[in-house]
Structure 1
Amino acid sequence: MTGEPIARLRTLRSVALRTPEASRAAEFYQHVWGLSQIDGDDGTTWLRGSGQEHHILEVRQAEQNALGKIAFAVATPREVDEAAARLAARNIALVAEPGPLDQAGGGYGLRFADPEGRLVELSTQVEAVAPRDPSGIEAVPRKLAHVVLNTVDIDAACAFYTTVLGMRVSDWSEHQMVFLRCNSDHHVIAFNQASWTSLNHVAYEMPSVDHFMRGIGRLRHHGITPKWGPGRHGPGNNTFSYFTDPAGLVCEYTSEVEQVEEDAWLCRVWRRVPELSDLWGTAGPPSADVRSHMAGVPDTGRWWEK
């Protein structure tokens, strides 16, 4: 039992952010970034995109900027129960036992921590919402595209997410970044070797390049210019434009994420050079400012124990 992944992950469902600027950040994601509030209580806001996922972002009041949770979808409650048994066989303790989730959107799931203290949720039967015409004229993120995480040990992080969670390595950027997938999207998680554990950035997928550019235009209308971008990355072939929210956390618009044909894909090791970081050559190298924001502040995780 210990040799197989604990579950088959279907999608990256949502991410939770913890910040002292929760109110201002939630306002930004709703009124500037393009998401819609679907639920909220004292100090916490849940926001949706244009797809059928109940929420793709949770913003919660906390003492410092940190990652709150990463949530992945599985197919059935039975898979959640089987995942709990497989975690126990690997001596990985549960933070929350399988059962109904007490959160916006409900669902059935479990939670556990990865080796660097990040909270991981597996869930199913979360309430769906009607899509908001994701291909319409509105420049609204369709879904969560990926989360990039800073790690102190990229090999250990990669090993955990591939062997325990069953993710596959799509590409490496030298030995500095590794891109992991759980479905046909080139990556839903990436790890960046760093001096401390923290959140690097969260990316939101636009339905097309046109939506991507109009989203950038909307932010410019609000007086907010990209920290880096627009451009197109080599690994993943996706467009990118990076911004910071009022809490200083990095958020990205992206589109046209490369689709992986599982039986034909060959993992590459990309060189870390400007012409491969940005295939368009429009963005230039990332500035010291955006690198500082992507480094974040040290995050020891395990906030639920405090």
Structure 2
Amino acid sequence: MNQPIASLRRLRSVELRTTACADSADFYTNVWGLRAVEQGDGQAWLRGTGQEHHVLQLTEADRNGLGRITFAVATPAEVDEAARRLEARNIPILAGPGPTGEISAGYGVSFVDHEGRVIQLLADALAVPALRQEEPVPVGVTHVVLNTVDIDASVAFYSDVLGMRVSDWSEHQMAFLRCNSDHHSIAFNQAEWASVNHVAYEMPTVDQFMRGIGRLRHNKILPLWGPGRHGPGDNTFSYFADPAGLVCEYTSGVAQVDEDRWLCRVWRRVPELSDTWGTAGPPSADVRSHMAGVPDAGAFDRHPELMGVAR
């Protein structure tokens, strides 16, 4: 039986391809609470208060989509071993293994999953000092929810190849996967097409979570859904749309998993479990439409020769 290609430590950053790069960079820095590391030429790199060099990369594109998801691994040697295991599994490698030459430096390998998403494993990336911040701003990215046309195949790929563990199911509609003690860093939602559903940003406390929502309200930006608290993961939620229509979430208090004691559960999809506070109500057609996004074949659009190999 094949071993996972690596031991993932945490979710580092997300790249979003966006039809409104400049406006979105302004939104995420001046309203959402991230700080610009560097901007220009249709791209922006933004950080939170944590030690990651950046947690969000925005790249100008002709349609919205997912650019890349980056996970941390411990050492360059693990990156090299991951590349060997990817080759043994006949999983397409787009870049590396080796020095990335990118703005955050580091040693990495990038590959394509079964639905065309680009995943990067990265070690030795640049760190930045953590920020002491009284204002309600995100620490960093805590999870990404992805729409998939085959939830079982997606769970199998991320479990078998990346070694992620299923924390919970929401019936057979959503699956929540972890790579550390956080309840989930990736979740899959069964859908008509593959796309990014939303990206979630961790607020350090419930107080800062609510104050962040207040700041957006002062900027005349109302939640698509929320505030509330989810059953699976036990995290608070409030969802918004950025200028390109991509969904971003403030969250806090995600459940912590004790590997020796945790039991995966299947949650019923009922309003009182999708929002245990009862403050948000069920998601509207508008929020569902935003979360559906547009069909996104990812790397398969840019490298169609990979489709038969990756699948």
Give the counterpart letter for 1:81 in structure 2: D
Aligned to 1:14: 13
Match of 1:128 in 2: 127
Paired position in structure 2 for 1:172: 169
Q: Which residue identity is paired with 1:98?
A: P
The equivalent of 2:152 in structure 1 is 155
Aligned residue for 1:59, secondary structure, equals: strand
Are residues 1:305 and 2:278 paired? no
Partner in structure 2 of residue 218 of structure 1: 215
**Separation of aligned partners in 2, 1:93 and 1:283:** 42
1:141 — aligned with what? 138
Equivalent positions of 1:219-258 (< 5 A) are 219-258=216-255
Equivalent residue, structure 2, for 1:203:
200
Which residue of the partner structure matches residue 45 of structure 2?
A: 46
Which whole-Å CA distance do the structure 1 matches of 2:101 and 2:238 have between them?
34
- Extract unaligned runs of 5+ from structure 1: none
The one-letter amino acid paired with 2:134 is I
Q: Distance in 1 between matches of 2:108 and 2:297?
A: 24
Structure 1 distance, partners of 2:38, 2:153, is: 36
Give, in whole Å, the separation in 2 of the partners of 1:304 and 1:164: 23
For normalisation by structure 1, the TM-score amounts to 0.98
Report the CA distance between 1:41 and its aligned residue.
Answer: 2.9
- 1-side partners of 2:9 and 2:167: how far apart? 16
Deviations 1:154-199 (A, max 9, x none): 0000000000000000000000000000000000000000000001
Q: Secondary structure at the match of 1:234?
A: coil
> For 1:216 and 1:240, how far apart are their aligned partners in 2?
10
Identity of paired residues, percent? 68
Match of 1:191?
A: 188
Cα distance in 2 between the residues matched to 1:27 and 1:40: 10
Q: Which secondary structure does the structure 1 equivalent of 2:138 belong to?
A: coil
2:97 corresponds to which residue?
98
Describe how 1:35-74 pairs up with structure 2 within 5 A: 35-74=34-73
1: CA distance between counterparts of 2:43 and 2:159? 31
* One-letter amino acid of the structure 2 residue matched with residue 106 of structure 1: A
Deviations 1:21-69 (A, max 9, x none): 1111111001000000001231000000000000000000001000000
Q: What's the CA shift for 1:298? A: 0.4
Amino acid in the other structure paired with 1:275: E
Partner Cα distance (2:303, 2:105) in 1: 22
2:268 to 271, 275, 279: 271
Alpha-carbon shift at residue 304 of structure 1 (Å): 4.4
- Runs of 4+ residues over 6 Å off in structure 1: none
TM-score by structure 2 length? 0.96
Equivalents in 1 of 2:10, 2:293: separation in Å?
26
How far off is 1:231 after superposition? 0.2
Matched, 1:77 2:112: no
2:283: which partner in 1? 286
